Each structure stands twice: as C-alpha cells, then as structure tokens.
Amino acid sequence: MTDVPVGSLAQAWERVGWYRWRWPVAEELPKAQETGRQLRGPQFTAAGALRPAAGVLTAVAWLLLRLRRLSRQERAAAGPAVRHVPRARAAWLGPGRLGREEAGWAVGEFFGALARLGGHQSREGDGPPGWQVLWEGWSKLHTVLEFTSARDGPNCGQT
C-alpha cells in the first residue's frame, strides 16, 4: 500500500523496491541498535551522556545493517569497501592486515573480515554473522584504530 501515485508499471516496481528496502530496515535496525546498546550501555549512567551515544550507536547500527545487506548482494559485495566504510577501517582490516588500502578489497571481503574479528568462525555450516559478532568486530576495529591514532599522534613519546 502506498499513497504515492503510480502511473506506470515502472513506477509500480519502484514502489515495490521501496518496500523491499523498508522491511529489513524496519525489522533489523532496532535489533542492531539494541545489540550496540547492550555492549556499550554500562558505560553511560546519565541521560545526558546516553543521548549523544545513542545517536552514534544508531549511525554505526545503520552502517552495519548496510554492510550486511550489501554483502548479500553479489554485485554490491564485489564493489570497493572504501565506498561504504571509512578508508582507515578498510585499510587496517585489509588483506593480511597490511595497514594500507589494497586494490580490490571488496565490501563482501571487508564484511567477512569484520565478522571474523568479532568471533565468527566462518565455517561451512555456520550461518551468517549475527549482530553481536558484528558489533564485537566493529568495536575491536575501533579500539585498534584509536590506539594506533594515539600512538602515532603528534604528542607520542613527549612528556
């Protein structure tokens, strides 16, 4: 059902496409957000601290949802990861963790590496990675990049 006028078959299929995108988001985004809050929730005890954190966690949940969706679409999964994730994250998690961007590092490969970093075994019988594994992977990746940034920062080694 839609309240948007449909004047052609192409427009009708466009509306179907809208619905296909809406459904996973409507169901999965709250799950992704809740998992992020469970992992980060104990750090916040005041509403003033929780509000900005909820915004950041929602942005990360949306990114993880998008990555998961893209990784399940053959054509999109083969696209460059740097189109969808910050270059530093793609570089660090790149093939062999070389710390630099690798040509051909695809969304599907990045998603798989992120899931493995979070503890997904990626065995033949394993299902797709769940939200907790994805959040764990993202959290570990963020921690490494924070440490690396602090270590390589302008004040490193200075007192």
Using one digit for the tens of pLDDT, what is the confidence trace for 107-157? Answer: 998 999 999 999 999 888 888 999 999 999 998 888 888 887 766 666 555
Domain-located, residue 23? no
pTM: 0.70
Domain-located, residue 101? yes
User: In one letter, which amino acid is 158?
Assistant: Q
Cβ partners under 8 Å of residue 35, min gap 6: 61, 131, 132, 134, 135
Domain-located, residue 105? yes
Domain-located, residue 57? yes
Domain-located, residue 86? yes
Q: What is the pLDDT of residues 48-72, one digit of tens each?
A: 777 777 788 888 888 999 999 999 9
Structural domains in the chain (count)? 1
Domain-located, residue 77? yes
Domain-located, residue 17? no
The CATH number that applies at residue 58 is 1.10.740.10
Domain-located, residue 19? no
Residue 105 and residue 94 in contact, taking contact as beta carbons nearer than 8 Å: yes
Q: Which residues form the domain of 89?
A: 32-40+53-152
